[in-house]
Amino acid sequence: MKKTFAYLYSKAFCVASEFLFGKTLYTLGGAKDVVFDKKIRYCGDENLYLNVCRQKNQSEKLPLFIYLHGGGFVSGAPDYRKAIISNIAADGYVVVGIFYGLAPKYVFPAPVENIYKALAFLKTNAGKYNFDDGKIYVAGESAGASLAVTLGAISSNDKMKNFFNLDPGSKDTAFSGIGAICGLYDTHSALNSGYPYMKEYLCSYADKDVDGLLNDEDAQYMSPIRFINSSFPKTFVITGERDALREDGFRLSEKLQAVNVENGAFHGVGGTAIHAFPVGQALPVAKTALGEMLKFFK
């Protein structure tokens, strides 16, 4: 894809924002009694890694919770999600933040396939990190929510699963729950959402122009909402009043209800209920949203 000025500007802005907030706001309001193991390589690609967060005095085997960071598919890292990841861990999970690779270096479907490489690594090391690989939850915000819902669709729809080249050690992974936080679940609606620079982000991730994004056969697999059926895992959807992508969240809830999938939802209201607001755990509405999601999974 040709790198336009709009793309270069939007990527620079996104990267700068991620770094700034990831080092400040997104660290506030986190749990204290947790420990992190960072930069664990899960495959032969030295750029890819995962972070593990656990309770300091964990003795029993706990469920595994995968958290997928957002950033428009072009920025972000698990290191910048300290508060939300630590609070999930404190609620009784071993939490893994996966760095799945960013566009334009890693374009669709590579990030999805990288997540499955990480899952295969984790399953092999379940004893080392003391988690139950029969109870796996996955959630994420923004682009990470899109990826989380994609994993749910892969686990429950053979057409979706067969499109990807998935690691044999994890391709049949079942999920106990999906958390979809302020995400985009259909490329057509996301392009029309009014979210700033959405075209640049999606075209970079797809490595296609808009026409290819809308019409190429393989682009449909970037819209996981199209592959949801009655076997989809139970799901909790979080939306925000001030988020341009809130309608995608509403449509996801409607689709889940239409096919009788167990689901719950939280809609944040007020001036701080912006895009991906639960990441900022210092905000009361963010704490409430995460608490409602974890309560639903329990």
Instruction: Express each pLDDT in 13-22 by its tens digit.
Output: 788 888 888 8
* Structural domain boundaries, residue 126: 5-297
Q: Is the pLDDT of residue 114 over 70?
A: yes
pLDDT-based confidence at residue 5 (cuts at 50, 70, 90): confident
Contact yes or no for 123/167 (Cβ under 8 A)? no
Residue 13: predicted pLDDT: 78
Residue 1: predicted pLDDT: 56
Instruction: Express each pLDDT in 241-265 by its tens digit.
Output: 999 999 999 999 999 999 999 999 9
**Is beta strand 49-55 parallel, antiparallel or unpaired with respect to 94-99?**
antiparallel
Residue type, 286: A
Contact yes or no for 130/51 (Cβ under 8 A)? no
pTM of the complete model: 0.96
The domain that holds 75 is classified in CATH as 3.40.50.1820
Residue 258: predicted pLDDT: 98
Q: How many domains does the chain have?
A: 1
Q: How far apart are CA 143 and CA 100, in angstroms?
A: 11
Phi, psi of 229 (to 5 degrees): -135, -175
Contact yes or no for 139/67 (Cβ under 8 A)? yes
Q: Is the pLDDT of residue 3 over 90?
A: no
pLDDT-based confidence at residue 2 (cuts at 50, 70, 90): low
